[in-house]
Amino acid sequence: MSQSPNPAAPPQVAPLLALATKLLRAGQPADAITPLRDAALLEPFNAIVQHDLGLAYLEIGRASDAIAAFEWAVAINPRYADAYFRLGIALEKLGDSGGAIAAYDRATRLLPSLTEAWFRAGALVYTLGHREEAIGCFRRAATTGGKTGFGRLGKARALLTEDRNGEAEQVLRQTLAHDPNNALAHDLLGNLLSEFGRFDEARECFERAIRIAPLLAGSYYDLVRCRPLTGADDALLPRMEATLATPGLEAAQCLRLHLAIGKAAEDLGDYALAMQHFDAADALRRGSASFDPAAFSAEIDRLMARCTPEWIARAREVGSRDGTPVAIIGMPRSGTTLVEQIISMNPDVAAGGELHFWNRQGAEWLRSGEAGNEKTFLAKAAPNYLRVLRAIAPKAARVTDKMPFNFLWAGLIHIAFPRATIIHCRRDAIDTALSIHQTHFHPSLTFPTGGDELVAYFRGYQRLMEHWRSVLPADRFIEVDYEELTRAPEPVIRRIIAACGLAWHDACLRPESNPRAVRTPSKWQARQPIYRTSVARWRRYEPWLGSLRVLVDDETN
């Protein structure tokens, strides 16, 4: 509680605030709401009371009510840094990343020592693909926080974002030596270890994080993806199911927990239970993110209208002569990680992972109007993209960018870099859709994960890929079928390497040996030799496919 007596307040306010304080100290925020609300009605222009009401709402998971209270608090007092900070937390819980970042920015401008606000802002801008801005926020958290928990975590996350993974691991272990009950440090360390294939150690970290902070139940998602579960893990499934009833569990944590239960049930052979929880996760996501199929279809139309054969033919006239980029595109879960692992085993290649550059630049270009204005756009975009790639690997002959959603911008990438290689990863539609349905995506992505919406998205993607297939040069736009790659790896891999203009290295046949960090949900799969057990896996779920079944019919017609 932050309120202090106001001599001018009505006499009824003081006992209401005293009662609210008592209830909050007793761990009863739900019961504190009524006296706080009554006090706010009596003193509607008391920013502190509004802040504390918002805080009580926040503690019981009523984020929308908390936002209303915090917004009123900052309207009353525009210099109320703590109210802006907690407004950011509430907005973040509802998936409004942009609003949360703006609130954290305002809070830190008013009170630069707000370490946790710097840390949270860094985490959000990193998720949105703003690497340098994220590093800056994490560094500010480290500077302002010093040896506090969030100060140490800020330093670790700055190092992780800079790919200084060994130093980051050292900082995280120092943090845990100083504070063994720092659940976020355990969770961060678990993610770092899993990215490098140290799955047994990672599982221990996730287990500790959940044990210390049960509301971090979403960590079960990372835990169960460290390896397939077996009969020896039978106790884990009921434990996760019971965790769903944890009081105060946020929707985002609950969503990840449903996906974890679904994955565990699949591993243990209970496909009906698995699909029940995958569907539940999709229902939660629909509540926090929206997708407009008509708007997406219209965007596809605009892209095809802009990127005509005549426009594409101008690439060598207006584009860069640099052939560094290798864009690996396709639907999520279509094999893009595997292809990047293969290519980056070549010593002349560096892996860039999923870069957000074209998602931002492409949207700006599409809004800019008619084709023909690309020279001005490309004069800025092309060198900026090369700077991003060179920051990853200054001397590599090729640098991969495996952002799947770059399938939207294949034409733009080609006209910017006509010598770049674009690799389209294809996979059976229903297998791809089912895998998407089972995977966690950040709520900032307006991307559907199930039902009719996912079918509509998939059809829009297929329509656009038909267009790229017809207008892009065949030697710059190559297609790799997941089923063919896993059935006969060597000839497909040789074709990929040749298309990138690279010398052959036998190491490309062993992508599971790639030592780089893997930061996608496919961490465990990326450490295995190429396998075919994911081909036609939809058949296990055939009775429960629902509206996704139409994708099976599409493939057979």
Q: How is residue 187 annotated by DSSP?
A: H
Q: Is 365 exposed, middle or buried (0-12, 13-18, 19+ CB in 10 A)?
A: buried
Single residue among 67, 93, 111 that ends a domain in this structure: 111
Residue 139 corresponds to which tokens in the numbers above? 């560094």
Q: Is 123 exposed, middle or buried (0-12, 13-18, 19+ CB in 10 A)?
A: buried
Q: Number of folded domains in the chain?
A: 2
Q: Does 524 fall in a domain? A: yes
Q: Does 282 fall in a domain? A: no
What is the average pLDDT score of the chain?
Answer: 93
Q: Does 208 fall in a domain? A: no
Nearest to 119 by CA among 71, 170, 73, 85: 85
Q: Does 525 fall in a domain? A: yes
The pLDDT confidence band at residue 190, using thresholds 50, 70 and 90, is: very high
The pLDDT confidence band at residue 289, using thresholds 50, 70 and 90, is: confident
Percent of the residues in the chain that have a pLDDT greater than 70, as a whole number:
97
- DSSP-based three-state secondary structure for 131: helix
- DSSP-based three-state secondary structure for 152: helix
CB 409 within 8 A of CB 305: no
The pLDDT confidence band at residue 1, using thresholds 50, 70 and 90, is: low
Nearest to 42 by CA among 34, 496, 183: 34
Q: What H or E segment, with its residue span, contains residue 479?
A: strand 477-481
Is pLDDT above 60 for 4? no
Mean per-residue pLDDT, 249-260: 93
Mean per-residue pLDDT, 255-279: 97
Mean per-residue pLDDT, 147-166: 95
pLDDT digits (tens, 9 = 90+) for 480-497: 999 999 999 999 999 999
pLDDT score recorded for residue 24: 86
CATH classification of the domain holding 457: 3.40.50.300
Single residue among 85, 111, 137 that ends a domain in this structure: 111
Q: Does 12 fall in a domain? A: yes
Residue 187 corresponds to which tokens in the numbers above? 């969770």
Start-to-end CA distance of the chain, whole Å, equals 64
Domain span at 16? 1-111
The pLDDT confidence band at residue 512, using thresholds 50, 70 and 90, is: very high
Number of H helices, E strands in the chain: 29, 5
Mean per-residue pLDDT, 519-535: 91
Single residue among 69, 88, 111 that ends a domain in this structure: 111
Q: Does 264 fall in a domain? A: no
Q: Does 150 fall in a domain? A: no
The pLDDT confidence band at residue 9, using thresholds 50, 70 and 90, is: low
Is pLDDT above 60 for 370? no
Is pLDDT above 60 for 49? yes
Mean per-residue pLDDT, 95-124: 96
Question: What's the rounded Cα separation, in Å, for the pair 137 and 143?
Answer: 10
Is pLDDT above 80 for 371? no
Q: Does 168 fall in a domain? A: no
Question: What's the rounded Cα separation, in Å, for the pair 496 and 423?
Answer: 8
pLDDT score recorded for residue 318: 92
pLDDT score recorded for residue 141: 98
Nearest to 58 by CA among 69, 45, 46: 69
CB 386 within 8 A of CB 324: yes
Is pLDDT above 70 for 5? no
The pTM for the full model equals: 0.90
Lowest mean pLDDT, pick from 111-125, 164-178, 431-445: 431-445
Instruction: Please work out, in degrees rounded to the nearest 5, the angle formed at the alpha carbon of residue 507 by the alpha carbons of 503 and 512.
Output: 140
Mapped to the 3 state alphabet, what secondary structure does 423-464 carry?
A: EEEECCHHHHHHHHHCCCCCCCCCCCCCHHHHHHHHHHHHHH
CATH classification of the domain holding 69: 1.25.40.10
Instruction: State how far Cα 127 lies from the chain centre.
Output: 6
pLDDT score recorded for residue 127: 87
Question: What's the rounded Cα separation, in Å, for the pair 302 and 305?
Answer: 5
DSSP 197-210: T-HHHHHHHHHHHH
CB 470 within 8 A of CB 552: no
Mean per-residue pLDDT, 300-313: 95
Mapped to the 3 state alphabet, what secondary structure does 75-100 carry?
A: HHCCCCHHHHHHHHHHHHHCCCHHHH
